[in-house]
Amino acid sequence: MTKNPFFEPKWHTLFELPRFSEIRPEHFQPAFERGLEEHSAEIAKIAENPEQPSFANTVTAFERSGETLRRVSRVFWNLSGSDTNEALQKIEREISPKLAQHRSAIYLDAGLFKRIDALHAARQILGLDAEQLRVLELIHKDFVRSGAKLDEASRKRLTEIVSRLATLTTSFGQNVLKDEADFTLVLEAPGDLAGLPESLIASAATTANERGLPGKHVLTLSRSHVEPFLQTSTRRDLREILFDAWTRRGENSGATNNMNIIAEIVALRAERAKLLGYDTFADFKLDNTMAKTPAAVRELLDRVWQGGLRRAQADRDELQKLADSEGANFAIAAHDWRYYIEKLRKQKFDLDEGEVKAYFQLDNIRAAAFDVAHRLFGLTFAEVKGLDVYHPDVRTFEVKDSTGKHIALFVADDFARSSKRSGAWMSNFRGQDRLDGDTRPIVINVLNIAKPGADHPALLSLDDARTLFHEFGHALHGMLSDVTYPRISGTSVSTDFVELPSQLYEHWVLQPEILRTYARHHETNAPMPDELIERVLKMRTFNQGFATVEYCSSAYVDMDLHELPPPAKVDPEKFERERLAAIHMPREIVMRHRTPHFAHVFSGEGYAAGYYSYLWSEVLDADAFNAFEEKGDIFDKDVAARLKEHIYSAGGRREPDAAYIAFRGRLPTPDALMEKRGLA
């Protein structure tokens, strides 16, 4: 084996970016082993320290520990999500339970918890500053929620559960990725392309070449293929084939079927919650969020659902009339909705997705996101070429503040490929902290935009453009972080608060002054005409019934599954069907994330009993953007300064409620959200 790059204490590269060209799959296993061994020794040293516990020798030491493991983990998990292969997937299956067991061993270490507990009991007389006090409280809570106060038998069982869950969630994600990677819809006859825009045809041709089918056109299950095809293809039979494959990921027969995995995950989560003293997993999970209780989540969901359902039902009736007027001899089905809603959009607003897409070039929209960050927070972005990156499509940008000081390295990985899981996300290769100097972050945004043909620019749909701004909002949350301790750095906040910086940032993408500058026709470079901008803005609440129903239905099923008391025995397919029937789910709409491929919930635990978080944060973001509108300036300097200080730079320094009040002066109500969605 070549020299292991993870065994060096730091990356000796520009910005200390990992040396990806030197990293091989065979480096990870020994690097993980060394990282685990080092971390265990560091924890033992803290726990066995004969000195009286202090913040420095216990909490700060705990925060510093595990650096090797942290470095290898960040590289590995980023690559396993964005550019995986069979070797990495094998390592993922082997290392996931080991990492889970390692974490359990730390948080169930009696000696370490005794020191943490003693400091927590005396926290008011230790002379800690506000950030130190917050870190101590969070660490203590993590230990308790991880079982530190349980008896020995319960600890043993909890460790078994956590390890098994790590194995199951890894298998779930890999099954979905395999279903996505294995499927192709080959378009061979000229009629197969009927209705498709040139940008999709070019992308499908590029994909065909990559799949060894030159001269043909191939669609994958990338959302950037599925959505435009369903919107524009006149071939109802092909729309049904693609839609069925898209919605049945993780549900196909054979080794990639996720139903038994889901059932076991739900049961183990419920058992884990009971061991920790909670009635259900939802109660356990929500106890550590803004919402606090399942009842609070349902109150918000119910309010939004009713308005969304009414809108969706009215839209469905319009779509059926439209189809009937064209001589359709069928009832509108789920694979028809996007096709006919585009026709209705054209009819109502003289506007279709393709007309708007022509003005949304990827590079321009990213430049718009950079410009908004400059006008709000004084940041500048300069592309850095020639860095050692993990894939040729990856781009890197140095970020500086208004004084020219280096703030972060921003990494962009935009295009869909079979080695990348679907969706879009933000992560980092290094977080921000000030424990040992000013460590600046390396933040990455991963998107899944269909790669264009060689002579075509990458064009974005409105949804793609919003997604780019959304993920960049997360990136700013990481890049602007200004705290001392890793525990509260960047996006380390509750799940129903973490979406505030990202969803708030989406508001700027459709502001007229942004569109006039950055929405330029990909052929003529002409700016988007004012009358087209006006039509785009008029349709902002168009099809919001559909969007609300497909989202809320997923959030309901997530909550329903995780409110099952132990022993939670469930048939996921039957459960999904019955729960959707109970809320009167229209048969013409499918959940945004059906249970067998609901990666937010089952490919990890971050959004389990937490998918509602996007809606909860939307209440915050709608009200937060109103703070700018009330000033009559969407770049008001005072509001932007408060936003940066209390939200984007603050990490988890405060409880989310307190952070929002510090920014806005009060907590919001759902009124702004209902108005934003056109459901008031």
Q: How much is the pLDDT for 372?
A: 98
Confidence check: pLDDT of 658 > 90: yes
Nearest to 419 by CA among 390, 442, 441, 380: 390
Task: Work out whether strand 406-415 and strand 380-383 pair parallel, antiparallel, or are unpaired.
Answer: unpaired
Determine, yes or no, domain membership for 53: yes
Tell me, yes or no, whether 110 and 38 share the same domain. yes
Tell me, yes or no, whether 108 and 229 share the same domain. no
Summarised one tens digit per residue, pLDDT across range 401-451 is 999 999 999 999 999 998 999 899 999 999 999 999 999 999 999 999 999
Determine, yes or no, domain membership for 602: no
Q: What mean pLDDT comes out for the span 192-210?
A: 93
Q: Which two tokens stand for residue 134?
A: 């917050």
CB 46 within 8 A of CB 65: yes
One-letter amino acid identity for 90?
Answer: K
Q: How much is the pLDDT for 470?
A: 98
Summarised one tens digit per residue, pLDDT across range 234-286 is 999 999 999 999 999 999 999 999 999 999 999 999 999 999 999 999 999 99
Residue 52 DSSP class: P
Q: How much is the pLDDT for 2?
A: 67
Tell me, yes or no, whether 52 and 111 share the same domain. yes
471 in catalytic set: yes
Tell me, yes or no, whether 113 and 48 share the same domain. yes
Q: Collect all residues with Cβ–Cβ distance below 8 Å to 434 and sequence separation of at least 6.
A: 483, 484
Residue carrying structure tokens 């279709």: 352
One-letter amino acid identity for 542?
Answer: F
Q: Which two tokens stand for residue 535?
A: 């039509």
Question: 205, 226, 247 — which closes off a domain?
Answer: 247
Determine, yes or no, domain membership for 609: no
Q: How far is CA 495 from CA 407, 491, 646, in A?
A: 25, 9, 17
Determine, yes or no, domain membership for 412: no
Tell me, yes or no, whether 192 and 107 share the same domain. no
Tell me, yes or no, whether 129 and 239 share the same domain. no
Strand order in the sheet with 406-415: 380-383, 395-400, 406-415, 442-449, 425-430
How far is residue 551's CA from residue 330's CA, in Å, rounded to a whole number?
26
Entry pTM: 0.95
Q: What mean pLDDT comes out for the span 377-396?
A: 98
CB 186 within 8 A of CB 121: no
Tell me, yes or no, whether 207 and 141 share the same domain. no
Question: 195, 213, 247 — which closes off a domain?
Answer: 247
Q: How far is CA 184 from CA 26, 231, 241, 374, 598, in A?
A: 31, 18, 11, 41, 21
Phi and psi at residue 536, to the nearest 5° = -60, -45
Determine, yes or no, domain membership for 59: yes
Bridge partners of 439?
Answer: 433
Q: Collect all residues with Cβ–Cβ distance below 8 Å to 389 and sequence separation of at least 6.
A: 17, 20, 395, 396, 411
Phi and psi at residue 183, to the nearest 5° = -85, 135
| Host domain of residue 214 | 183-247
Determine, yes or no, domain membership for 621: no
Q: How much is the pLDDT for 197?
A: 92
Q: What is the DSSP string of 540-587?
A: TTTTHHHHHHHHHHHHHHHHHHHTPPSS----HHHHHHHHHHHTT--T
Tell me, yes or no, whether 11 and 99 share the same domain. yes
Q: What is the CA radius of gyration of the chain?
A: 25
Q: How confident is the model at residue 573 (pLDDT cuts 50, 70, 90)?
A: very high
Determine, yes or no, domain membership for 616: no
Question: 193, 222, 247 — which closes off a domain?
Answer: 247
Nearest to 284 by CA among 584, 568, 586: 568
Q: How far is CA 679 from CA 419, 549, 567, 675, in A?
A: 39, 12, 39, 6
Q: Is the model more confident about 453 or about 49? A: 49
Domain CATH code at residue 48: 1.20.1050.40
How far is residue 294's CA from residue 18's CA, in Å, rounded to a whole number?
42
Task: Work out whether strand 442-449 and strand 406-415 pair parallel, antiparallel, or are unpaired.
Answer: parallel
Share of the chain above pLDDT 90, in %: 96
**Catalytic pick among 42, 131, 342, 471:** 471
CB 511 within 8 A of CB 680: no
User: Total domain count for the chain?
Assistant: 2
Residue carrying structure tokens 């995950």: 265
Tell me, yes or no, whether 144 and 188 share the same domain. no
How far is residue 662's CA from residue 656's CA, in Å, rounded to a whole number?
10
Residue carrying structure tokens 């990356």: 11
Average pLDDT of the chain to the nearest whole number? 96
Confidence check: pLDDT of 680 > 90: no
Tell me, yes or no, whether 218 and 143 share the same domain. no
Share of the chain above pLDDT 70, in %: 100
Find the distance separating the first CA and the last CA of the chain, reported in whole Å: 63
Bridge partners of 442?
Answer: 409, 430
Q: How much is the pLDDT for 404?
A: 98
Tell me, yes or no, whether 143 and 10 share the same domain. yes
Determine, yes or no, domain membership for 80: yes
Q: Collect all residues with Cβ–Cβ distance below 8 Å to 64 and sequence separation of at least 6.
A: 42, 435, 436
Half-sphere exposure of 20 (CA within 13 A, CB side): 17
Summarised one tens digit per residue, pLDDT across range 461-472 is 999 999 999 999
CB 266 within 8 A of CB 568: yes
Summarised one tens digit per residue, pLDDT across range 4-36 is 999 998 899 999 999 999 999 999 999 999 999
Tell me, yes or no, whether 12 and 94 share the same domain. yes
Q: How much is the pLDDT for 1?
A: 56
